[in-house]
Structure 1
Amino acid sequence: MSVTKATDADFQQLLQDNEKVVVKYYADWCGNCRLFSPKFKRLAEQNEGMAFLDVNAETSPEARKLASVTNLPFFAVFRNGELVDTVAASKEEAVASLISRLN
């Protein structure tokens, strides 16, 4: 599955439309966020049946508040629209571990 860009306008709908959602919060100025993008895409391809979203934390304050984003990059997993867990990390293993909480 590919990574979908999401904004405040469609974030809630995407959470409702997908049982399992993995969100990467980023900012354009964040170097670690850019470096993590290919890893996030690879994780999306390896995890069928989950929606992977890219959310710009600076332009989507409502989506950012839902996960209490503190650092960037920041990752959150949702099940049935409810926040399950979060992690602020740049390591693929930490994000993979977070994703496993949805299984």
Structure 2
Amino acid sequence: MAIIQATDQDFQSVLQNNERVVVKFFADWCGNCRLFSPKFKRMADNEEFAGVAFVDVNAETSPEARKLAGVSNLPFFAVFKNGELVEGAATSKEEYVQEMIRKTV
């Protein structure tokens, strides 16, 4: 599945239109964010996560989305189910992000 690029303007709409959502908050200057991008793409293409919307949000240009997810550091991942935050964490561990996504089942 393609990764959705979202901003403050359409973030709520993405949450409302998708039952299960995982968001990667990043910044252009964040090296770990760039290093995680191929892993995030691989997860988005993983059959196990077929019903999950994968979303990229630039934390620097989307302060409202950042506040809603409680972003504390980058990269930061947040999982939502039915528009409600399930869990959020600053991590660079692919396995941890996968476990977060599984909590939305």
Check whether TM > 0.5.
yes
Where does 1:46-85 land on structure 2 (aligned, <5 Å)? 46=46, 47-85=49-87
Q: CA deviation at 1:87?
A: 1.4
Determine the structure 2 residue equivalent to 1:3. 3
Q: CA deviation at 1:2?
A: 1.3
Q: CA deviation at 1:40?
A: 0.3
Q: Tell me, in whole angstroms, the C-alpha distance in 2 between the residues paired with 1:79 and 1:39.
A: 22
Identity of aligned residues (%): 68
Q: What secondary structure, in the 3-state scheme, does the structure 1 residue paired with 2:10 have? A: helix
RMSD, aligned CA: 0.6
Letter in 2 for 1:7: T
Q: Tell me, in whole angstroms, the C-alpha distance in 2 between the residues paired with 1:48 and 1:74.
A: 21
Q: How high is the TM-score relative to the length of structure 2?
A: 0.96
Q: How high is the TM-score relative to the length of structure 1?
A: 0.98
What is the aligned length? 103
Where does 1:13-28 land on structure 2 (aligned, <5 Å)? 13-28=13-28
Q: What secondary structure, in the 3-state scheme, does the structure 2 residue paired with 1:72 have? A: coil
Unaligned runs of 5+ in 1: none
Q: Which whole-Å deviations, capped at 9, do the CAs of 1:28-73 have from their partners, x for residues lacking one?
A: 0000000000000111111101100000000000000001100000
Q: Tell me, in whole angstroms, the C-alpha distance in 2 between the residues paired with 1:83 and 1:61.
A: 16
Unaligned runs of 5+ in 2: none
Q: Tell me, in whole angstroms, the C-alpha distance in 1 between the residues paired with 2:40 and 2:104.
A: 16
Q: What secondary structure, in the 3-state scheme, does the structure 2 residue paired with 1:43 have? A: helix
Q: CA deviation at 1:85?
A: 0.5
Q: Tell me, in whole angstroms, the C-alpha distance in 1 between the residues paired with 2:50 and 2:27.
A: 26
